[in-house]
């Protein structure tokens, strides 16, 4: 997706490492996870422990993306204890760039370093408002994570051509079905 800001591209790809439609999961086991890491130019010797952490973080962040359809002023507070408990296991520190920017960055190595990149990108995006634009398609058989680049941040489906239309057709059929 070309409209995703660069730091969020890894986040989006990580969240879409499971494809609900096909059932394919890049985090299915250690071997597939290592493959995913190498594909993203972040080769790391993942073990079962890393895989478990990555899978749980993905689940929690996907649940967060699902809340982004609500308007910020109407967003319901929710229990974020599980996400918070995972986040503290992934070390981050404030890093200074040559241009003076002070931003959070990972201090872990291997998989915790990669997950730290994901988390740091989320933290930065939460600050500039772009994290709220990372949304998950509400179609049950899709659940694809996409970046909503629309001006008023109102895009509801991953793709209007596919999920939007499919859903419109479905609700039209339901409305017109004989009682
Ligand atoms: Zn969709």
Cα-to-centroid distance, 144 and ligand 1 (Å): 5
Residues around the ion ligand 1 (C-beta < 5 A): 137, 139, 142, 144, 158, 163
Residues 6+ apart with CB under 8 A from 47: 30
**How many A from CA of 138 to the centre of ligand 1?**
7
Q: What is the structure's pLDDT at 74?
A: 84
Give residue 66 CA to ligand 1 midpoint distance, Å: 12
> Per residue in 49-62, is it b (16+ CB within 10 Å) or e — as a string?
ebbebbbebbbbbb
Tokens of 127: 């600050």
Strand pairing class (24-25; 102-106): unpaired
Nearest to 63 by CA among 9, 10, 136: 136
DSSP 146-169: EE---TTS---SS-IIIIIHHHHH
Distance 161 CA to ligand 1 centre (A): 9
Look at residue 47 and give its three-state secondary structure: coil
Query: Which pLDDT does position 19 carry in this prediction?
Result: 94
Helix axes 48-66, 110-128, angle to 10 degrees: 10
- Beta-carbon count within 10 A of 20 CB: 17
Per-residue pLDDT of the chain (179 residues; tens, 9 = 90+): 457 888 899 999 999 999 998 999 999 999 999 999 999 999 999 999 999 999 999 999 999 999 999 887 888 889 999 999 999 999 999 999 899 999 999 999 999 999 999 999 999 999 999 999 999 999 999 999 999 999 999 999 998 778 987 776 666 666 666 65
Residues 6+ apart with CB under 8 A from 131: 8, 68, 122, 125
Q: Does 6-176 carry CATH code 2.60.120?
A: no
Q: What is the pLDDT of residue 6?
A: 86
Q: Quick one: DSSP state of residue 118? A: H
- Return the pLDDT at 170: 63
SS3 85: helix
Q: How far is the CA of 21 from the centre of ligand 1 (A)?
A: 9
DSSP category for residue 131: G
**CA atoms of 55 and 57, how far apart (whole Å):** 5
Q: Cα of 165 to ligand 1 centre, how many Å?
A: 10
pLDDT at residue number 72: 79
């Amino acid at each position: 997706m070309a409209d995703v800001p660069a730091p969020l591209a890894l986040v989006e790809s990580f969240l879409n490492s499971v494809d609900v439609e096909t059932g394919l999961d890049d985090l299915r086991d250690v071997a597939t996870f290592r493959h995913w890491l190498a594909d993203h130019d972040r080769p790391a010797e993942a073990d079962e422990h890393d895989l478990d952490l990555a899978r749980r973080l993905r689940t929690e962040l996907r649940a967060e993306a699902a809340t982004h359809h609500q308007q910020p002023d109407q967003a319901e507070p929710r229990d974020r204890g599980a996400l918070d408990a995972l986040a503290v296991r992934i070390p981050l520190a404030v890093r200074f760039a040559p241009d003076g920017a002070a931003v959070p960055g990972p201090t872990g190595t291997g998989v915790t370093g990669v997950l730290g990149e994901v988390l740091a990108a989320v933290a930065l995006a939460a600050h500039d408002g772009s994290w709220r634009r990372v949304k998950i398609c509400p179609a049950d058989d899709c659940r694809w994570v996409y970046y909503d680049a629309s001006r008023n941040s109102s895009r509801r489906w991953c793709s209007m051509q596919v999920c939007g239309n499919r859903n419109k057709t479905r609700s039209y059929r339901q409305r017109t079905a004989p009682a």
